Amino acid sequence: MKWFPNAWLISCFTVLFLVASISVLAQTKKPQPDINIDAVIRAEVIESVIKQLNEQYIFPETAKEIEKAVRERLQRKDYDHITSAVELAKTLTTLLREVSRDQHLSVNYSFEPIQIRAKKTEPTPAEREGLRNYGEAINFGFEKVERLSANIGYLRLNLFFPTEYGADTAVAAMNFVAHTETLIIDLRGNDGGSPEMVVLLASYLFGNEPVHLGDLYRREGNATQQFWTLPFVPGKRYAGKDVYILTSKRTFSAAEGFTYDLKNLKRAIVIGETTGGGANPRDVVRINEHFWIGLPTARAVNPVTKTNWEGTGVKPDIEVPAEQALKTAQLVALKKFLTTATDENRINNLNKFIEALQKELDELKKKS
């Protein structure tokens, strides 16, 4: 087995950032203009997809199953009518996911020509600057950190940004909530990101002794990266106190990994919806100037379950609609506080908080 250098992780996030940027642009701008394709281009794209799957996809046997399914359709001439680039990308993506059940696997179309990108292990200075600027614009994924009623800490994180850029913000966030009695980590809008940030935040939730969180296996080079909590973190740890993680159907990739690992280590209670089900990190592979494939080349492996959440998502301990998850978590925490409270004023205050929150939750339930 080989081990990944840290540079690989940075490069991996660069790819994720580029994919995310494409997705955001697709959502915020008008649909891309379509282009007509002929039989030659169509065949070139299909054959290139098959080739890349067989050479790089993390599951070689599944790649063969996909190839068989594609060639059966080619023999039936199912694709002969397709003259739209958009339609070809959607059709191939649908088939790839039907066979593989891998939500990270996709064929994509770009109206703007896709530049040929040299394969390398580290991002360029321009890419680093772009990542830093992007990170600063979104506060490195940390949307909100606050102290809720009854001394409950709340952290809303929308992206696990690389620690090279976001470590100071992460440390500041964890130090802000250090003296709260319970912590709620809100990942309902988190699309994933860097495994190094997952490690940093998880490290605050355990003691000094390193804990094995998970592994990432990459087909190329038969390489495995292990992820353990850190023996040192700046500031005070949050070990020994209850942690709740909020999830939604949108919670994806590294955010699912954080949730899955902490759930299986019995370190957090998960509240909300079953997550999206994307466990296999992907690379961006250019097919030609207008097509690229999102290709998973690695897979997560949890040391407890020996598997991951690909295709199934992470099932919550307490299943509620995403919009009800925060108030549900607060109520669970407050009711637990009540079981150990002895001071009469604290008991009265907790009961008031519980009554008010329950009314608010009931109103949410009526609207759903």
pLDDT of residue 161: 96
pLDDT of residue 101: 87
Burial class (CB in 10 A: 0-12, 13-18, 19+), 193: buried
- Cβ(254)–Cβ(160) under 8 Å? yes
Query: Domain 137-284+295-323 sits in which CATH superfamily?
Result: 2-enoyl-CoA Hydratase; Chain A, domain 1 (3.90.226.10)
| Residue boundaries of the structural domains of the chain | 33-109, 137-284+295-323, 328-367
105: Cβ–Cβ under 8 A, 6 or more apart, which residues? 57, 93, 96, 97, 282, 294, 295, 296
**Per-residue pLDDT tens for 210-264?**
999 999 999 989 999 999 999 999 999 999 999 999 999 999 999 999 999 999 9
Angle between helix axes 39-56 and 85-100 (nearest 10 degrees) is 30
pLDDT of residue 121: 61
Residue 4 has pLDDT above 70, yes or no: no
Highest average pLDDT, of 29-33, 121-125, 144-148, comes from: 144-148
pLDDT of residue 317: 98
Q: Rg of the chain over CA atoms, in angstroms? A: 23
**Per-residue pLDDT tens for 85-141?**
999 999 999 999 999 988 889 999 999 998 887 665 677 888 889 999 999 999 999
C-alpha 62/C-alpha 228 separation (Å) is 30
- For the chain, the straight-line distance linking the first and the last C-alpha, in angstroms and rounded, comes to 50
Q: Which residue has better confidence, 143 or 12?
A: 143
pLDDT of residue 102: 87
**Per-residue pLDDT tens for 291-325?**
999 999 999 999 999 999 998 999 999 999 999 99
pLDDT of residue 123: 76
- As a whole-number percent, the residues of the chain with pLDDT over 90 amount to 82
Closest Cα to residue 180, out of 238, 232, 263?
A: 238
Residue 72 has pLDDT above 50, yes or no: yes
C-alpha 100/C-alpha 359 separation (Å) is 44
- Cβ(252)–Cβ(276) under 8 Å? yes
C-alpha 332/C-alpha 365 separation (Å) is 17
- Cβ(4)–Cβ(225) under 8 Å? yes
Residue 266: in which H helix or E strand, if any? none
Confidence grade of residue 367 (pLDDT, cut at 50, 70, 90): confident
Burial class (CB in 10 A: 0-12, 13-18, 19+), 118: exposed
